[in-house]
A = this chain, B = another copy of it.
Amino acid sequence: MIQILFLFSLLVLSEAAVQDFCVGDLTGPESPAGYSCKKSDKVTVDDFVYSGLKMAGNTTNIISAAVTPAFSTQFPGLNGLGISMARLDLAPNGVIPMHTHPGASEVLVVVQGAILAGFVSSANDVYVKKLNKGDIMVFPQGLLHFQINARGIPSIAFVSFSSPLPGLQILDFALFANNLPSKLVEKTTFLDDATVKALKGVLGGTG
């Protein structure tokens, strides 16, 4: 009996360094593969659990909607594991505007209400569908897509991504919420000056 315990401790020790997971240490150096790993003897079950999606996001805003991310930045237990989540809250008139995730595909499941969702492919084909509670839809990596409340009640969805850090590029923010000169926006989108300046005004852009 002593012998087996002895062997087992050896085995267990030798395996103690095995990298089953790499809970992100946001204070350490980052690599192209993600955050540095927290020392494994400091890791507890709380590193693998996240409660930040429990509460509705604040939808008292112009889009009447909120995206609450649980990416590896918010939930470091996901670091290196190829997956992440977010919660979508859409008030009755809520819209998640056109956006992309540069580095991930997305699956959405409706858990309350109904959502009209769609994406556009590289071939410019349009895929739009009204999703009811329990329906799921997949949005292939990097393509423009959107979600709109499709029933007069608050709607909620959980979305999952094929990356712990999928990115989120909201089209209107990318074009109108920064210092990208109006002239460049106009030249590269065919929008007219008045439209660009109006939206820059609304979204806080300059230039």
Contacts and interface: CB of A to CB of B under 8 A. Distances in A.
Contacts of A125: 178
A142 to B, nearest CB: 3
Interface in A136-171: 136-144, 146, 148, 158, 160-162, 165, 167-171
A134 B102 contact: no
A188 B146 contact: yes
Nearest to A33: B33
Nearest to A26: B17
B136 A49 contact: yes
A19 to B, nearest CB: 5
Contact of A29 (B5, B37, B66, B204): B37
Interface string A67-78: 101110111011
Interface string A59-88: 011110011011101110111111111000
A30 B162 CA distance: 22
Most buried by B among A67, A109, A116, A161: A109
Stoichiometry, as copies per complex, reads 6
A134 B51 contact: yes
Contact of A100 (B102, B119, B148, B199): B102
Contacts of A202: 1, 4, 190
Nearest to A109: B158
14 contacts: A7-B63, A11-B67, A15-B167, A20-B102, A31-B35, A31-B36, A70-B136, A85-B136, A116-B184, A118-B184, A122-B167, A126-B178, A146-B187, A148-B187
